[in-house]
Amino acid sequence: MSGSRRRPLVAGNWKMNTTVPEGIELARAIVALDRPDEVGVAVLPPFTHLWPICAELRGTGVELGAQNCFWEDAGAYTGEVSPAALAGWCDLVLIGHSERRHLMGETDEQVARKLRRALTHPLQIILAVGETLEQRDAGTTLTVIHRQLDAALDGLDPASLERVVIAYEPVWAIGTGRTATREQAQEVCAAIRTHVAGMVSAQAAERLLILYGGSCTPDNAAGLLAEPDIDGGLIGGASLKPAAFGAIIAAAARAVNATVDG
Ligand code: PEP
């Protein structure tokens, strides 16, 4: 839909990896990477790591995000973490990751409730959407993506959309080593932008960051990030390796600079 443009974001989803000391060490290694200004960088460590890593990241420009939150601000919800508790010192929260949808049984409705609650706080939300292999093979990829977007973003005003980033993550590509081709990823990311334009506004959709996630590595990042509707990556496995994560950040910088120069 558009030539780039938007400041890309490369966000590392550490999932349930690292101990607290290992996580602090990893955060320090990421802070030490060459991080060009034209690329936003974020890390999403496990909940237990957020507070000490917040101290490591202060003043560095690397943003801090949580991997999930609950849909209420407080109450008798044992084991859950409230967006109110994250707000003010975490920058981001990831909502609707496919591991939560498929392993923990999170529904579209629950994802929508989480997003609405998180939006009542000063947090940026990364909303993850994506189809399974069965859905792709059945030709229903866009139906699924539209349903997930409709459920989460229905009635959202343009100002709220400014605080939402969409991550397109085909479930069959996450942690499998099987990446979507750049054409497949671009097709869905462009469709997401068009759909959001219809739901919210064309201007808001034009500014929307849409990330690709799913076995993104230094080997395939340049191609994916060169696509006009892919504004960065949500990186799982490769975000645990500072050199690989740094190479993906560098690829994002090259992609955005090539667009600006071109
Ligand atoms: C993810 O979990 O969001 C992800 C994209 O994982 P990986 O890069 O390991 O496929």
Burial bucket for residue 207 (CB in 10 Å: 0-12, 13-18, 19+)? middle
Q: Please tell me the predicted confidence (pLDDT) of residue 261.
A: 66
**For the CA of 237, the nearest atom of ligand 1:** 9
Number of CB atoms found within 10 A of residue 154's CB: 11
Residue bearing the CA closest to ligand 1, atom 6: 236
> How many other CB atoms sit within 10 Å of the CB of residue 57?
20
pLDDT for 5: 73
- Probe residue for ligand 1, chosen from 9, 10, 13 as the CB with the greatest number of ligand atoms within 8 Å: 13
Predicted local distance difference test score (pLDDT) of residue 4: 47
- Asked about 97 being catalytic, the answer comes back as yes
Active-site hit among 49, 97, 121, 195? 97
| Structure confidence by residue, pLDDT tens digits, 190-204 | 999 999 999 999 999
> Best substitution site from 212, 216, 219 to test ligand 1's pocket, by max atoms within 8 Å of Cβ?
216
- The pLDDT value recorded for residue 1 is 44
Q: Could you tell me the distance, in angstroms and rounded to a whole number, from the CA of residue 50 to the centre of ligand 1? A: 19
pLDDT at 177: 86
Give the number of other CB atoms < 10 A from CB of residue 260: 11
**Number of the ligand 1 atom closest to the C-alpha atom of 169:** 5
Asked if residue 213 has its Cβ within 6 Å of ligand 1, the reply is yes
8 Å CB contact between 98 and 128: yes
Q: Is 177 left (phi over 0), alpha (psi -120 to 50) or beta?
A: left
Closest Cα to atom 2, ligand 1: which residue? 236
* From 99, 106, 131, 169, active-site residue: 169
Q: Please give the pLDDT value at position 259.
A: 79
Whether the CB of 175 sits within 6 Å of ligand 1: yes
| Ligand 1 mean position, distance from CA 132 (Å) | 14
- pLDDT < 70 positions in the chain: 1-4, 260-262
> Does residue 96 have its Cβ closer than 6 Å to ligand 1?
no
